[in-house]
Amino acid sequence: MMLKTGIAFPDYITSEKPRSSASRHFDKPSNMRVFFMPLLLVLAAVVIFFRLFDLQIIQGSYYRDLSDNNRIRTVVIHAPRGIIFDRNKDPLVFNVPGFRETINGKTRVIDNEKAITLIAQGKKDLEVDALRSYPYKDIFAHVVGYIGQIDKEELKESKFSAYKGGDLIGKMGVEQEYETFLKGIDGKQLLETDSLGKSVRKLGQTDPIPGKDLTFTLDAKLQKTAFEALKNVKKGTVIVSTPNGEVLSMVSKPSFDPNLFTMGQDYRTDPDNNYQTIEQALTDNNNQPLLNRSISGVYPPGSTFKLIVAASGLENKIIDRSYEVEDTGIINVGSFSFSNWYYSQYGRKDGAVDVIKGIKRSNDIFFYKLGEKIGVEKISKTAEKFGLGERLGIDLAGEAAGNVPTPLWKEKEIGEQWYLGDTYHYGIGQGYVLTTPLQVNIWTQAISNEGIIYKPHLLMNTKPMVFKKDLLSPDSADLIRQGMVESCSPGGVAWPLFNFTVKNEKLKVDGKNFLEAPQSTTSGSFKDYRKISIACKTGTAQHGTEKTLPHAWITLFAPAYDPQIIVTVLAEESGEGSNIATPIAKKVLEEWFSRE
């Protein structure tokens, strides 16, 4: 129906039918808006609840630890290493106050003076530590060693399973060999800090356990004497031991100051030291100052090897006391000639030579022919029995085995057969035989002990361990000893040791080991002097070219019939053993036997 228009309604308004109930669904959006906000709040509450549950329950321990780490700081208290003593309780190393810091995983040690400067500049992450100081510097460098930061490869080794990056460990010498004893157990301190990292209070502390102090067989005074005796030798070594295997002295040159590695970058060594920095010592590939020549260097032993050849002939019953060789001065083999040193230098001969005279005069002709008579195989077997060609097991890392040649070895390694000339060279300690100075010292010990070798060792109070035995019969030992005694006596070759005498009235004259000294050499106080019997063998080992100076050797024990010490000296590329090595050994003997 159309409504009537009037003043109150415009004429475009019409009437419509009322909307049906079906049309009321268009009001639902407004109803949803009524329920949406409460639903959203409920969902937000659930999310917050589960997030709080995750933070407080599931990950609660993680965040508590994180909070504690921000509030609690752990400071490592580094344990001091054990002290190394010589046999007389003279310390060979000290622990001095210092600091360390770690930068990009690299540990750097800092002395007190440098640390004070850094702290004054605001440095806060320095760790208190005990720095390793070596008072004897280069004198004991090779045998005592030094410490340094553990590297990645070392961390993979099972023996370092308890170590962590940045730890300092022994890198050489007894510092390395006895690391597990010398290194202590670090302690720690728990500190509460504020938001700025400043310490508020100490919450607790675990004290460090210092490393174990160790005493070694070394003799500091004897070591110093041996080192000074080598002062004019550029490269060489001195080893002094006792008949039961205790090492009294082990010097190697050139040497280095181990404090360069342990006392921080500001440390300055003595001006006369050849190496002023670590880099100089590490990069000198020609002289190799970090090489312990006593145990790691291998050399032709020269005439010192004649002792092994003599032992081989006697023990294999090939010769006896009556065996003689006529010194012809020179032996010709085809186009090759093999001469005796006495003939080459002075044009003279030694006449009929037996084993005693052969050792006394170091007669090459005798040992050429003896080597030929014995044969290379038997000489090599004897050499191996005396410890050549294998490591002796001294308690130091880096020991070399040397080389004992055979015809099979030469064919395999060089591709040539063994010739008679090779045997001649072998008989006088030349050619392919290579030994360490320690091995020379050890086979000298065997003669002093009448065929027994004790394992060389450095740790004091170690029970002597028999390494080899039954190497010499008493008769063989006596013959070789007699030749060595005469070598150090007038008519022999070790002229600096003729009538060796020291002033020491406490040495009891027995007519064999200690004798009354000739009055003409001791003036009015001759009664205080003693002549000491010495058994020695010199060596002059050719190597390189004809223009290269030979290695100078001497090995000896004294007194000759009741030995106290065994001394072996090697001076590389220096000249003859009698002229170069023997005076060095003499200074060692003077130090030892002059003691009250």
- Phi, psi (5° rounding) for residue 70? -75, -25
Provide the mean pLDDT of the chain: 89
Q: Is the dihedral of CA 288, 290, 293, 299 positive or negative?
A: negative
All residues at 6 or more sequence positions from 395 whose CB lies less than 8 Å from its CB, including other chains: 174, 177, 178, 457, 458, 459
Q: How confident is the model at residue 36 (pLDDT cuts 50, 70, 90)?
A: confident
**Cα–Cα distance, 114 to 405 (Å, whole number):** 56
Pairing of strands 352-353, 336-339: unpaired
Q: Is the dihedral of CA 215, 220, 226, 232 positive or negative?
A: positive
pLDDT of 586 reads 98
3-state secondary structure 288-339: CCCCCHHHHCCECCHHHHHHHHHHHHHHCCCCCCCCCEECCCEEEECCEEEE
CATH 3.90.1310.10 location in the chain: 70-215
pLDDT of 106 reads 78
**Cα–Cα distance, 408 to 417 (Å, whole number):** 8
All residues at 6 or more sequence positions from 2 whose CB lies less than 8 Å from its CB, including other chains: 14, 15
Place of tokens 């109803």: 31
Angle subtended at Cα 203 by Cα 55 and Cα 64, rounded to the nearest 5 degrees? 5
Q: How are the residues of the chain apportioned to helix, strand and coil, as percentages rounded to the nearest 5?
A: 35, 20, 40
Q: Report how far apart, in Å, the C-alpha atoms of 241 and of each of 13, 222, 246, 557, 563 are.
A: 132, 11, 5, 9, 11
Q: How confident is the model at residue 200 (pLDDT cuts 50, 70, 90)?
A: low
What is the topology classification, in CATH, of domain 70-215? Penicillin-binding protein 2a (Domain 2) (3.90.1310)
Q: How confident is the model at residue 426 (pLDDT cuts 50, 70, 90)?
A: very high
Q: Is the pLDDT of residue 595 over 60?
A: yes
Could you tell me the two tokens for 367? Answer: 């040992």
Percentage of residues in the chain with pLDDT exceeding 90? 69
CATH 3.40.710.10 location in the chain: 291-593
Which amino acid is present at 234? K
Q: Which CATH architecture has domain 291-593?
A: 3-Layer(aba) Sandwich (3.40)
The answer to whether the bond into 254 is cis (omega within 30° of 0) is yes
Do residues 170 and 211 make contact, with C-beta atoms less than 8 angstroms apart? no
Instruction: Give the range among 160-164, 189-193, 373-377, 539-543 with minimum mean pLDDT.
Output: 189-193
Q: Report how far apart, in Å, the C-alpha atoms of 317 and of each of 311, 365, 428, 472, 475 are.
A: 10, 20, 20, 12, 12
137-152 tens-digit pLDDT: 999 999 999 999 999 9
Q: How confident is the model at residue 78 (pLDDT cuts 50, 70, 90)?
A: confident
Place of tokens 């500001």: 266
- Phi, psi (5° rounding) for residue 185? -110, 120
467: closest CA among 485, 451, 483, 479? 451
3-state DSSP assignment of residue 590: helix
Helix or strand holding residue 502 (H, E) = strand 501-503
Do residues 234 and 245 make contact, with C-beta atoms less than 8 angstroms apart? no
Do residues 358 and 310 make contact, with C-beta atoms less than 8 angstroms apart? yes
Q: How confident is the model at residue 1 (pLDDT cuts 50, 70, 90)?
A: very low
Q: How confident is the model at residue 201 (pLDDT cuts 50, 70, 90)?
A: confident
Q: How confident is the model at residue 128 (pLDDT cuts 50, 70, 90)?
A: confident
Q: How confident is the model at residue 55 (pLDDT cuts 50, 70, 90)?
A: low
pLDDT of 524 reads 57
In this structure, how many other beta carbons lie within 10 angstroms of the beta carbon of residue 466? 12
Q: What is the DSSP letter of 153?
A: H
Number of H helices, E strands in the chain: 21, 24
241 forms beta bridges with: 247, 566
In this structure, how many other beta carbons lie within 10 angstroms of the beta carbon of residue 148? 20
The answer to whether the bond into 464 is cis (omega within 30° of 0) is no
Percentage of residues in the chain with pLDDT exceeding 70? 89
3-state DSSP assignment of residue 444: helix
Helix or strand holding residue 154 (H, E) = helix 152-155
In this structure, how many other beta carbons lie within 10 angstroms of the beta carbon of residue 195? 7
Angle subtended at Cα 284 by Cα 402 and Cα 390, rounded to the nearest 5 degrees? 10
**Cα–Cα distance, 387 to 439 (Å, whole number):** 7
Q: What is the DSSP letter of 138?
A: G
Do residues 394 and 307 make contact, with C-beta atoms less than 8 angstroms apart? no
Instruction: Give the range among 239-243, 271-275, 439-443, 570-574 with minimum mean pLDDT.
Output: 271-275
Could you tell me the two tokens for 303? Answer: 């005439």
* Number of alpha carbons in the 13 Å side-chain half-sphere of residue 477: 18
Q: How confident is the model at residue 46 (pLDDT cuts 50, 70, 90)?
A: confident
Q: Is the pLDDT of residue 118 over 90?
A: no
User: Can you tell me the mean pLDDT for 364-378?
Assistant: 98
Dihedral angle at the C-alpha atoms of 436, 441, 446, 450, nearest 10 degrees? 160
